[in-house]
Amino acid sequence: MTSTAAVSEKLLEWYDRSARSLPWRVPPAGGAADPYRVWLSEVMLQQTTTAAVAPYFAAFTERWPSVEALAAAPEEDVMAAWAGLGYYSRARNLVKCARQVSEMGGFPHSEDALRKLPGLGAYTAAAVAAIAFGQRAVVVDANVERVVARLFAIGEPLPGARKAIRERADAITPDRRSGDFAQAMMDLGATICTARAPKCLLCPLSAECEGRATGDPARLPVKSAKKPKPQRQGTAFWIEREGHVWLVRRPGKGMLGGMRALPDDGWAAGGDGSGEAPIRGSWRAGGVVRHGFTHFDLELGLAIYAGKSFEALGDGEWWPVAQIEEAGLPTLFAKAARLASA
Positions marked catalytic: 42
Mapped onto helix, strand or coil, the DSSP state of residue 140 is coil
Would you call the peptide bond into 198 cis, given omega within 30 degrees of 0 as the criterion?
no
Question: Which residues touch 247 (CB under 8 Å, ≥6 apart)?
Answer: 260, 261, 262, 316, 317, 318, 319, 327, 329
The strand ranges marked E within the chain are 231-238, 240-241, 244-249, 260-261, 283-292, 297-305, 317-320
> End-to-end CA distance of the chain, in Å?
60
Q: Are 171 and 178 in contact (CB under 8 A)?
A: no
Contact 277, 271 (CB under 8 A): no
Query: Alpha-carbon dihedral of residues 71, 76, 82, 86, nearest 10 degrees?
Result: 120
Cα(232)–Cα(300) distance, integer angstroms: 8
In sequence order, what are the beta bridge partners of 261?
248
Distance between CA atoms of residues 181 and 7, nearest Å: 10
Residue 239: CB partners within 8 Å, gap ≥ 6? 245, 246, 263, 278, 279, 305, 310, 313
Range list of β-strands (E), 172-282: 231-238, 240-241, 244-249, 260-261
* Burial of 103 per CB tally in 10 Å (0-12, 13-18, 19+): exposed
Asked if residues 83 and 257 have their Cβ atoms less than 8 Å apart, the reply is no
